[in-house]
Every structure is written in C-alpha cells, then in structure tokens.
Structure 1
Amino acid sequence: MTTTRFAPSPTGYLHVGNLRTALFNYMIARKAGGTFILRIDDTDPERSKPEYVDAIQEDLTWLGLTWDRIEYQSRRLDRYAEAADALRAAGRFYEAFETPTELDLKRKKQLNMGKPPVYDRAALALSEDEKAALRAERGQGVWRFKLDHERITWTDGILGDISIDAASVSDPVLIRGDGQVLYTIASVVDDTEMGVTHVVRGSDHVTNTATQIQIMAALGHGHPEFAHHSLLTGPQGEALSKRLGTLALRDLRAEGVEPMALLSLMARLGSSQPVEVAGSLEALIEGFDLSTFGAAPTKFDRADLFPLTARVLHATPFAEVADEIAALGVPAAQAELFWEVARANITTRADLAGWWQLFRDGGAPLVAEEDRAFVADAFARLPEPPYGPETWGAWTAEVKAASGRKGKGLFMPLRKAVTGLERGPEMADVMRLLQKKPTL
C-alpha cells in the first residue's frame, strides 16, 4: 500500500513552503488509495510547543488535508535508542567530542587546502582512555554515523538519477551531546517502521536523503521512493527564508485567502501544468502528476492568491455562504440575490460587509458639480423602495425623457450618485437591493 507522511516540527506555524510538501505527499497517498500520516517531529523538547501542534492540525483541517493517523516522535524515543544500539553493534556509530570552534577551524583549514570541508573522523582514532578524559572535560560527545565512502545513487521522482559521493559528505551527527535524537535517524526509523513508500520533500534535503539511504541499509532496510521538489523564491527570485513568517497559513487565512485558491496554486506551481482553480480537492488530486514538476527554483507571489480567491468565490454556491450572509443582517428574502450580485464583485469574503453596507445605507454620492442639478431632479423622480427588476429601466427612461441625456451621460452620473462607484454590479440588480431611497 502507498504510504506517505508529512512531518512538520512544532516549532512554529506552517507556511507555504511546508504546505507544498504536505500537499504533494497527501495527493500521492489519496490518488493511490493509500495512507497519509501526520507525523509530529517533536524531538526538540525546548522548541516544540503544544500550541504549534494544535495550529498544524488546525491549518491542515482548514485546507481539507485529512490524515489517517497521527504519530509523535517524542513517544518513540525507545525505538531510536534501539536503532542507535544496532548501529553501534555494527561498527557504524562513533562518539566525537570536537567543539563548534574546533570544527570551524578544521573546515577553514580544509577549504584553504582546496579540500571539501568534511569531518576528518579524528574521533575514530581516540582510545577509550582519551574518550573518558574528554567526557570528564567536556561532557558527553555527539554520535556520528560512519558513512561508507562510496557513491550513493537513487532515481528521484523529480530530479531524475542522483549520484552523490559519500566521501564528499561529513559523517552526520545523529544524536547530540545532550542526548537529543536528531531528524536524520528519527526519520529513518519512522519511515521504515511505518512502511512509508514515498517521501516528497524540498531539494535542500538531497544530501540528507543520501545519508539516510545508507543508514537504512545499515539497519537492514531498503528505502522509499524519494522526490525532491524545488524551493520557493519570492517573485523576483529572492530567497523566501527571511519572509516565511509573513507567509504563515494562519495569516493567509486571516486575510481571506480561500483554501481551494491556495491548494490550486500550490498543486501546480513549478510544474508544466497551468494554474487553474480546481472545483474540488478530488479534482485536484486526480490531475496531480509529480513528473510534471521541475528542479528550477519556483517563484511564489502571494498576490497571486487573491485573484484565485476571487475566482473561487465567484463559483461558490449560495448554500455555502448563507449563514455568513444572514449574520450580516441581509433579509432572508434578498439573501440569495445579494450573493449573486456581490460575489462577482468581491476578492475575499470580508468584502461582503462593505457591499451590504452600501445596499443598506446607500453609497456616498459621487457627483460632479455640473451634474448636481441633473442628479437632484432624477432623485426627485425616484419613488421610495422597495424596488423591483424594472425600476432601473423605468426610472432612467423617465429621466432621459425629462433631461434629454442618453448613453454614458445619462447612466454614469446616476450610477456614481447611487453607489459612489464608477463600476460594479448591474444597476438593475443594485436597485433591487437598496433598502433606502438614494439622496444627495
């Protein structure tokens, strides 16, 4: 069975970069009728917060990305300890004691010599007595996985054939000196024990994937199918890393971005397929094809979400917004008409309040001085509401006959005087929704 996972760290709020990874894994599982796991990578006890776990679930639920089960790495520490013991027994795990300063000096020296800045494995030469002395002086060391210096290869679902020389990569630290288990080994243990068949993540994880393939093999396991999607940049190609805090899903939700607008964009951005608003999540899943995505950095502009949100709302049926419209105070008899008129003229749901205020209280008249007498006479000819479908046509016909005006010279001053706007819904519909007679 196809099994995928989304494994966020609860150290902050989900942002658009996280969503891309979550959505790809979700759609792969759902398209295959498989299992989608939400795995909370909470092995960092200081930075992981329960409120972020709640926020992650809230954001995914808002988007409709339901999970089949939830797992917590903090509850699986015994499994990681067993894996560490197995690596020690196999001679693939060793303790190292260098300080960050010492490691930095080693890297600089290697770079000056024109060599790759990889860990020199000096710790392998330490005797037991030397290790004991270092522990007494510095505390527990870190535990590194000893890579086999050979080429690590796999066929990536997006990047194609990958080959990485393990000799060009430092032996990865899997357990810190304070005992904290790091992502690299925790993810390996979870992916193998949970039967994960496909892993899609950002291209910044390619080197991690190479080392994890070796760790999986050292523990006696094969590896899932890996795919690494491109990283998002800003609209000018700038790095998003410093601005991701402003692209949190909860903030986009607060600004009125519709879930299907966000999903439709993220499901196609960076692929050869055009971005289109999907009618449903099921339709989005059906059209998803991982092979259409490229390796080049992908430009993301949050401004693109708002035209898409408007298109989603334009296609939204009245039943889905009936409660919101009732909460505005729109009379039940006019609620559906209000939605039909307003939805073609809004960008987000928040815009509805402004339109109802206009229909309820009237717009602020926008009248040129040379049109003031004309508008005053026209308003005098308009009866009190309620107005029907024929009101606009009958009223403007009467005003035309009295003033001699026609065309734009007739209709535009009246539109601006009634609504305070130069454009908007059909005036016949506007009149039907007005609760008060317009006045100067």
Structure 2
Amino acid sequence: MSVIVRFAPSPTGYIHIGNLRPALFNWLFAKARPGEAPGQFVLRFDDTDVERSRQEYADAIAEDLRWIGIVPDMIARQSDRLEIYDRAADALRAKGLLYPCYETADELERRRKRRMALGQPPVYGRDALRLTAEERAKLEAEGRRPHWRFLLPNFESDPFAPVRKEVRWNDLVRGQQTVDLSSLSDPVLVREDGTYLYTLPSVVDDGEMGITHVIRGDDHVTNSGVQIAIFEALGYSLPVFGHHNLLTTVDGEGLSKRSGALSIRMLRAEGLEPMSVASLAVLVGSAGSIEAMQDLTQLGARVDLSAISSSNAKFDPAELVRLNAELVHKFSYEDVAARLAEMQVPTDSAQAFWLAVRGNCEKLDDAASWQAIVYHAPSASFVFSDEDLSFVREAFALLPPEPWNNESWGLWTQAVKAATWRKGRGLFLPLRLALTGLDHGPEMAALLPLIGRKAALQRIP
C-alpha cells in the first residue's frame, strides 16, 4: 500500500515549531523510512475560517516548509472543496445522522449545569431531536438558525438512552486506544451560518484523498474517536492513526501561532539552520539523545513513532543553539562557500578562513563578524596598560617576513618570548587583543596568515 499523509494547518498565522512537529512526522513517515518506497505528502490548508484565514499566511507556511526541506506532492485548500462537504452533509442528513439544533450558547450552558447538578454527565441531551416540525418552524420564524450535530452511534434503538460504545484503534504512537462515545456530546459539524467546523471537512478530505495515515498531536485523540464514527457513516476507509505528544515551553505553556513564539519565520531570521530546527522538533520528547541530524533522510532513520513519550515534550530554545553549533562545526567549505561569498570573504582564502573560524561559530552568520575582524579591523580598540603597550609594540617589531603559513604564529611568539621573557597568557593574550580586539576566538596560528603582515602592522596600538 502506498502511503499518503497530510499536514493540514490553518492559515491564520505563521507556523511555529510545535506546528512543524506533525508536518515533519508526516513527511518523514512518507518519504524517509528506511527500506520503504516514498509515499505522498499533501499540504491541505484548513481555511474554512474565512474571517481569520489569509493567503499571506498560506504562502508563508509553504515557504517555511520549503526552508525545512518539505515540498508537498499536492496542495489543497478546503475553501475550494465546499461542494464536496455539502454533499457529505446532505448524505448524513438523509441517513438521519445530522440533525438541526436551535439552542443558544447560554441555553446550552444552563442545561449543562443542570445535568451536572443532577449527577448526570455534562453532555448534550439531544433535546433538539424531540422537536416537531412545527416547533422547528416556529423557532426559525423567530429568527433562529440551526447548527447541525452528528448523531453519535452510542445507543441501541433509543438515542435518549445512550450505552457504552467503544471505538478502538491501534495507534502508531500510543498503542491500543479506546474512546467511549457515550461520554461525548454529539459534535457540531455545521455552524448557524452554514460554515463547517474542522471535523467534517477533515474526515471528507481524508476519505476523498485516500489518506492512509493520520499523524497528529495527542490533543486529537478524542476527536479521532468521533471522526472514526463519521468515516464509517460516510463509507470511507479508515486511515491508520498516530497521536504524538505536544511541544510546550520549558514552563509547560502551550505554543500559539497568535503569540508568534518560536515561529519558523522568527527562527529563520535568527540565523538558525533548518536541520537544527527540524532535529529538535522531531527528537525532543522521544527516546534517545537529541543530536543534530545532517539531513531529513538521516533524521527519518532516527524516528520511531512507538518510542515517543506520552508526556508533553518541553522545548528549550537553548537546545536549538547547541544543535545549530553542532551542525555549523561540521560544515565543510563546500557546504558554505556560497554564503561566505555573500559575506564578501575573498575567494582565494575563503576555505582557510572557514576552517579557521567555524569552531567559533554557533550560527553561520557569526562568520560575518570574523570576516570583519580578519579582513578589515579588530572588533574594538583595546586600552592596554603601559607595560602591555610597550610589550605589544616591541613584539610587532619582531613580526617575521612573509610568506606566512600556520607555523608563522609559533615562530613569531617564540621570537617574542626570547626577546621579552614573557610566556603563557602574558605573552599570547596582548597579541590576540591587538590583532582581533577580542580575548577569545579561533587559533591565532590559523588567523595570522589570513590577516597578513601589512594589515597586522596597521593594528599596532
């Protein structure tokens, strides 16, 4: 069976790393399982919320996914598929499984509290099923418009006498799962204005598109029990479900598109590499160590859905920086040549420059700071003590002639040590400060030939 998965974001904001998590699980399941033929990945925009959905957000989501390396095989918009949902809703009405309800939100809340006071479960009592045609007509004449609920199959013959009805499935992540439909209210599928809530379009699209596996957050476990009943009512084949844990902040708070926290767009702007973001989005909250993977294929080989924890995964942005540094430190010159050219690193010394500075870069953009130091001037002028100032000037007078190589720093400092009797930190630190303006950084043996003798002499304090 060919795998077909989907990622169905709402284009109501920029996606964050918590949204990226299910996108990656689906992509890797379809495209990067060792020994398996590649499947299909559908990007499906849940844009039936007309007031909040924006094309600019849909475009941004697609762009952010491309940055990670996810290129959909198909893109669909639910706003283009309303006629299909209309037909499905009509089919449910014809079967008596979609019924009109006229209660206001206040009326529903009062009834819920009354049921709780009587020791009954706070679920919808299906009062609208008792309405006669005349009573419905009267309510509509008063200006009320119905919302439509799906009649859950949790009774034998009397819908007002629900019995325990278990929906079971073997979850890719959580194992055997059970949802008791008698503990749930009949879900609203159609609003008063005729627009659809998430549930029906999701089922219809999954059924019509032949989605074979639905991998999403574990906040949808109960939804899956309801949706399985709708799948069966509409005669669709059931997909295989998998519900992974959710990402939260270190403090346990949920991530939100509205807040913009940890949005992919923000992480991109901060100079993080796509694979550091992808690695943490997938591996946090799973068994095994969290390491920076080189590409999505390598990341896919690490994914074991059954090994994902049942507890929420806490996302620490500091881990992103660590993973990003791991990646950057392993980048070859070929990996970064084009980006170094954009930083105006001279081509003839770019490879030596990268090998010298990459160990001191947490982000590739950090190389731009070293470019300025190496090829232009120290990062800042340092105020030396009189003693160190005299030492540095004496040392620079001993600079060896060019050509320079990685041995030149050692030859120079040996000569300075012999002439001044300085050693250790007292010898090396003032020279580093004079040449770079910093008390830390790459090995000076690698930097000195890049700076060159002429530029070095211009840095005498």
Distance 1:383 1:400 in 2: 14
Q: Residues 135-284 of structure 1: matches in 2 within 5 Å?
A: 135-149=140-154, 150-241=165-256, 245-284=260-299
Given that residues 37 and 69 in structure 1 are in contact (C-alpha distance below 8 angstroms), is that contact kept between their aligned partners in structure 2? yes
Q: Residues 336-347 of structure 1: matches in 2 within 5 Å?
A: 336-347=351-362
Q: Residues 326-341 of structure 1: matches in 2 within 5 Å?
A: 326-341=341-356
2:133 aligns to what?
128
1:302 and 1:136, CA in 2 relative to 1: closer, same or farther beyond 3 A? farther
1:21 aligns to what?
22
Is the deviation greater in 384-393 or in 313-322?
Answer: 384-393
Deviations 1:201-260 (A, max 9, x none): 111111111110001111122311111111112113334348852211000000011111
1:286 aligns to what?
301
* TM-score, with length taken from structure 2: 0.91
Deviations 1:37-70 (A, max 9, x none): 1111111222111111100110010000121111
Report the secondary structure of 1:412's partner residue.
helix
Distance 1:385 1:109 in 2: 91
2:397 aligns to what?
380
Deviations 1:253-290 (A, max 9, x none): 00011111111112211111211111221111123211
Distance 1:242 1:70 in 2: 21
Is the deviation greater in 188-197 or in 426-435?
Answer: 426-435
Deviations 1:323-356 (A, max 9, x none): 2222222221111111111211111122122111
- Root-mean-square deviation (CA, aligned residues, Å) is 1.8
Distance 2:407 2:381 in 1: 22
Given that residues 7 and 26 in structure 2 are in contact (C-alpha distance below 8 angstroms), is that contact kept between their aligned partners in structure 1? yes
Given that residues 188 and 212 in structure 1 are in contact (C-alpha distance below 8 angstroms), is that contact kept between their aligned partners in structure 2? yes
One-letter amino acid matched to 1:407: G
Given that residues 98 and 148 in structure 2 are in contact (C-alpha distance below 8 angstroms), is that contact kept between their aligned partners in structure 1? yes
Given that residues 200 and 228 in structure 1 are in contact (C-alpha distance below 8 angstroms), is that contact kept between their aligned partners in structure 2? yes
Given that residues 18 and 255 in structure 2 are in contact (C-alpha distance below 8 angstroms), is that contact kept between their aligned partners in structure 1? no
Distance 2:132 2:259 in 1: 46
1:12 aligns to what?
13
Is the deviation greater in 404-413 or in 284-293?
Answer: 404-413
Establish whether residue 90 from structure 1 lines up as the match of residue 90 from structure 2: no
- 1:428 aligned to 442, 445, 454, which one? 445
Establish whether residue 418 from structure 1 lines up as the match of residue 435 from structure 2: yes
- 1:409 aligned to 426, 432, 457, which one? 426
Report the secondary structure of 1:65's partner residue.
coil
2:159 aligns to what?
none
Distance 1:114 1:294 in 2: 35
Given that residues 118 and 170 in structure 1 are in contact (C-alpha distance below 8 angstroms), is that contact kept between their aligned partners in structure 2? yes
Deviations 1:114-159 (A, max 9, x none): 3322111111011111111212223421110000111222121112
Shift in Å, 1:421: 2.1
One-letter amino acid matched to 2:133: E
Given that residues 13 and 257 in structure 2 are in contact (C-alpha distance below 8 angstroms), is that contact kept between their aligned partners in structure 1? no
1:357 aligns to what?
372
Q: Residues 49-128 of structure 1: matches in 2 within 5 Å?
A: 49-128=54-133
Distance 2:320 2:225 in 1: 35
* TM-score, with length taken from structure 1: 0.95
Q: Residues 288-307 of structure 1: matches in 2 within 5 Å?
A: 288-307=303-322
Shift in Å, 1:305: 0.6
Is the deviation greater in 2-11 or in 229-238?
Answer: 229-238
Distance 1:333 1:193 in 2: 57
Distance 1:242 1:108 in 2: 32
Distance 2:308 2:418 in 1: 62
Report the secondary structure of 2:447's partner residue.
helix
One-letter amino acid matched to 1:51: E
Structure 1: where are the runs of 5+ without partners? none
2:460 aligns to what?
439
1:48 aligns to what?
53
Structure 2: where are the runs of 5+ without partners? 155-164
Distance 2:342 2:257 in 1: 39
Shift in Å, 1:383: 5.9
Shift in Å, 1:315: 1.5
Report the secondary structure of 2:261's partner residue.
helix
Report the secondary structure of 2:433's partner residue.
helix
Given that residues 362 and 434 in structure 1 are in contact (C-alpha distance below 8 angstroms), is that contact kept between their aligned partners in structure 2? no
Is the deviation greater in 359-368 or in 188-197?
Answer: 359-368
Distance 2:412 2:397 in 1: 11
Establish whether residue 39 from structure 1 lines up as the match of residue 54 from structure 2: no
Given that residues 257 and 263 in structure 2 are in contact (C-alpha distance below 8 angstroms), is that contact kept between their aligned partners in structure 1? no
Deviations 1:144-197 (A, max 9, x none): 000011122212111222222211111001011111112101011111111111
One-letter amino acid matched to 1:124: L
Distance 1:343 1:136 in 2: 74
1:102 and 1:386, CA in 2 relative to 1: closer, same or farther beyond 3 A? farther
Given that residues 385 and 434 in structure 1 are in contact (C-alpha distance below 8 angstroms), is that contact kept between their aligned partners in structure 2? no
Report the secondary structure of 2:241's partner residue.
strand
Distance 1:244 1:68 in 2: 30
Distance 1:354 1:260 in 2: 23
Deviations 1:46-97 (A, max 9, x none): 2111111100110010000121111111111111111111111111110001
Is the deviation greater in 307-316 or in 113-122?
Answer: 113-122
Distance 1:89 1:231 in 2: 38
